Amino acid sequence: MNKKIYTVIVGTGSFVPTRVIANDFFLDAEFYDPATNEIFETPNSEIIRKFYEITNIEERRYAENDQVTSDLATLAARDAIETSGIDPETFEFILVAHNFGDMVSGILQPDLMPALANRVKTKLGIKNPEVLTNDVTSGCPGWTTAMIIADAYIKSGTFKRGLVIGADVLSRAADPYDRDRMIFSDGAGAAIVEAVESETPVGILSHSSRSDNDHNMLIMAFSLNPNIPKSRQFLRMLGSKVYAYALSTVPGVVKDSLDKAGLHLDDVSKVLIHQANEKMDEAILSRVFRLYGKREYNKSVMPMTIQRFGNSSTATVPTLLDLVLKDKMEDHQISRGDVIILTSVGAGMTINSIVYKMPE
């Protein structure tokens, strides 16, 4: 049997900021109604209660004021390096997925040059000038997109080892007058991938993607507060539309990725899905099960971090993967030979689903 080249994860890491922001933090916020651009008459306590009922987010994490996205990305990368024991000078590429670059606290302007991948390389102290550095901006699916790119790099035979990071500081991009700001958080996750020759499939077995021309669900727009200068734009989300889009499209992409791998849902041990909204993720999983003729879904296959960490965009899936692999998620383990799904949906709109098999 001929050997083939597969992309295998050989180390993971994450950085979860220590600054905890509980829901009560927003009791004194001024939330404006997007329909009227006037302050909600509903008390914030009621807005927060309904928000929790919909998302199950109790708290989220914010970066410290002196930290930027590349700092978080570097800390996650160091964790992955320590986990793997790999010399970072042997990396042949570094991909950093993010959305807003290094936004300095108090300055609402994305800092995208030089690329965050270059900054991470410098902060890691890597001297090798032949390392390819590249940023990926793809909304919340940024890290899964970067993993698909890394898989193409490796399977082309061009590269043998690389670092793939997802990091975001969404707390600085969200409109402070928008109640949806309560969803967003900060964090970083990283994976070291390398080429493995194997006669049996291992690592990334397949992937599927979808993009639709629905550009208005997650956008940069003026503040809901009409008194904020129009020279400033903030992250805005049409939550109900994102919810409906995800439910109607993500399950089919997940099934297509399994079909490409020649596998069934019964072969899957865990589904690691972007941590955007717990009820939305549960509804997506339920619909995936229905595609296989199963009326009830098994919630135990889907570990969740959103209750404590909120939605850290590109960081959610790699962070979740790292925590499960390191036995830091109660009642959730990934063992040798397990097949897992890594899937995400977000701005674009874009969806990715990766089928991954753990080495035996």
DSSP 156: T
What is the greatest pairwise CA distance in the chain? 69
Instruction: Look at 32-41, 141-150, 230-239 and tell me which has the smallest mean pLDDT.
Output: 230-239
> Position of tokens 């936004």?
103
Intrachain domains 4-198 and 203-357 with the same fold:
yes
> Which secondary structure element, helix H or strand E, spans residue 12, and what is its range?
strand 4-15
Does the bond joining 304 to the residue before it have cis omega, within 30 degrees of 0?
no
Tokens matching residue 72? 């978080």
For residue 33, list its beta bridge partners: 38
Alpha-carbon span 144 to 189, nearest angstrom = 11
Burial 319-336 (b: 16+ CB within 10 A, else e): bbbbbbbeeebeebebee
Please say whether the beta carbons of 348 and 211 come within 8 A.
yes
Query: How many residues are there in the chain?
Result: 360
Query: Among candidates 330, 305, 235, 347, which has minimal Cα distance to 16?
Result: 305
**215: pLDDT strictly greater than 70:** no
The whole-number average pLDDT for the span 265-281 is 92
- Per-residue pLDDT band for 331 (boundaries 50, 70, 90) equals confident
The whole-number average pLDDT for the span 103-117 is 83
**CATH node for 203-357:** 3.40.47.10
Q: Could you tell me the residue ranges of all domains in the chain? A: 4-198, 203-357
The whole-number average pLDDT for the span 177-186 is 93
Per-residue model confidence as pLDDT tens digits over 28-41? 999 999 889 889 98
What confidence score (pLDDT) does residue 266 get?
A: 93
Strand 161-169 relative to strand 93-97, pairing: parallel
What confidence score (pLDDT) does residue 95 get?
A: 98
Share of the chain above pLDDT 70, in %: 99
Instruction: Look at 17-26, 194-203, 215-224, 267-276 and tell me which has the smallest mean pLDDT.
Output: 215-224
Please say whether the beta carbons of 273 and 316 come within 8 A.
no
Written as one letter, the residue type at 43 is P
Tokens matching residue 322? 């790292």
**19: pLDDT strictly greater than 90:** yes
Per-residue model confidence as pLDDT tens digits over 282-317? 999 999 999 998 888 888 899 999 999 999 999 999
Report how far Cα 176 is from the mean position of its chain's Cα atoms.
Answer: 22
Alpha-carbon span 288 to 282, nearest angstrom = 10
**140: pLDDT strictly greater than 80:** yes
What confidence score (pLDDT) does residue 111 get?
A: 78
Per-residue model confidence as pLDDT tens digits over 57-95? 999 999 999 999 999 999 999 999 999 999 999 999 999
Burial class (CB in 10 A: 0-12, 13-18, 19+), 29: middle
The whole-number average pLDDT for the span 338-350 is 92
- Please give the CATH topology (third level) of the domain spanning 4-198: Peroxisomal Thiolase; Chain A, domain 1 (3.40.47)
